[in-house]
Structure 1
Amino acid sequence: MKSAVPNKTTYYFDDDLAGFGLYRTTTGTGTYFAEFRPVAGGSKKRLKLGRVGTLKANEAREAARKAIANAALGKDLAQNRSDERASLTVEELVSK
């Protein structure tokens, strides 16, 4: 018998490392993430670390540990990624 596919994304959190977990989408894709609250306050942020199968659980846990530690030190890796995506590419810079 085939197991039922959930009709919404399901989140699973690690028992040992607060803020680390994975989520499974309705298609079955699993993605590891780190969840943290910036030192300056505000809402929680969730940083995608990588897909299940591409990234091993222990590698994802270590990446989450670093992301959560950086957040505790005032560094926001999620914001850094967002800033990098918004920055100009070399091609865009040269074409100006």
Structure 2
Amino acid sequence: MAETRRRFDPDFRDGAVRIVEETGKPIAQVARDLGINPGTLANWVNMARKRKALAIGNGVLDADERAELARLRRENAELQMRCDVLKRSLVLWVTDTTR
């Protein structure tokens, strides 16, 4: 006979994963408490960890990213300098017109 599969909404999944991560309890114990299969919960936890790792990245920049970062820093410094020049010229203009 065909077995029917239980469906869990995303909130339940996220809550179960959060329980495992925040309490430090074993997956098997949390699964038993929630009445779900430990393998299912283990899959959810692994998927959540992979998503988190992809979102964070490994913290190492490759050559292209380093070059872009250097370019953006130079551009940012130039734009800040232009902004400062404009601010100073505005102050001079305002003080000159108020006299």
Q: Could you tell me the TM-score, scaled by structure 2's length?
A: 0.22
Higher RCO, Cα 8 Å, sep 6+: 1
The structure whose residues are more often strand, as a share, is 1
The structure whose residues are more often helix, as a share, is 2
Q: Could you tell me the TM-score, scaled by structure 1's length?
A: 0.23
Higher alpha-carbon Rg: 2
